[in-house]
Amino acid sequence: MKETKTIRSGMPFVTAGAATLFYALIFGMGTIPGYIGGIIVCVAGFIAGKKFFPDVTVEVDAAPKSGNAEVDAYILEARTQLAEIDAANTQISDASLTARIDDIVETGGKILSRLEEQPDMLSQLRTFLRYYLPTTKKILEARAKLENEVTRGQSATIATRIDEAAATVQEAFHKQLSALDEFRFINLESEMDALRNMMAGEGLTGETVGTEDLDAAAAETGAGKAEEEEDPFSGLFSQGGK
């Protein structure tokens, strides 16, 4: 979410002061006419400064305002990660892939907007924020780093697998957004775990896949199920949700 911010220039005050000082040095200000002349010069200097050094209006990321400090912290971190994904995308030349990543960033932003509007959804989105989004960032940053090698015909196989994985990520993000729109909770671990393991196997996420990793994944899945049971909307989802 963006907000407009005006950056006010301090130069008009500088030009006003400089004009007044110059006037005082040349004409002096020891008389009433001198003071009046100084005031006129000061105002003229300020107006000239405003003309040549106008205020600048820019768009900046608005600080999260969910009313929940924990949620705001999650949103702020997630927006930073989306910005880093967007930055990595600028290094990729494949038009279809960059369009896909643009959509991932846009969809991720919509998910965060839903969370900001309804901070009670944090329980549904905690895994997305802690795991899915950071993993997506690692994968796409790895793809950006491979760009030069891909253009030289190297690492093409790995790049292709990441490109295909981006399609899975895009679909998963859209499913998560649809779930929020329809007030349903979905568990994307089965889709994303396979993706994570594939990328880890290639050494692209800074992780290794072994027995300890599988045990940790199982423990995390168990925690996710326990979290789902604590979801205040769980009864609604099981009875009337799809």
pLDDT in tens, 69-120: 898 999 999 999 999 999 999 999 889 999 999 999 999 999 998 898 889 8
Structure tokens at 51: 């003309």
Tens digit of each residue's pLDDT, the chain (242 residues) = 555 667 788 888 999 999 999 888 888 888 888 888 889 999 999 999 888 888 877 655 666 777 888 989 999 999 999 999 999 999 998 899 999 999 999 999 999 988 988 898 888 888 889 888 998 998 899 888 888 776 666 677 788 888 888 888 888 888 888 888 765 555 555 556 666 666 666 565 555 444 444 344 444 444 444 444 333 223 322 333 33
- Residue 26, exposed/middle/buried by CB under 10 A (0-12, 13-18, 19+)? exposed
Neighbours of 241 (CB within 10 A): 15
CA 24, CA 31: separation in Å to the nearest integer? Answer: 11
Structure tokens at 150: 């891909």
Tell which residue, 71, 69, 82, 85, has the closest CA to residue 110: 82
Domain limits of the chain? 2-58, 66-240
pTM of model > 0.85: no
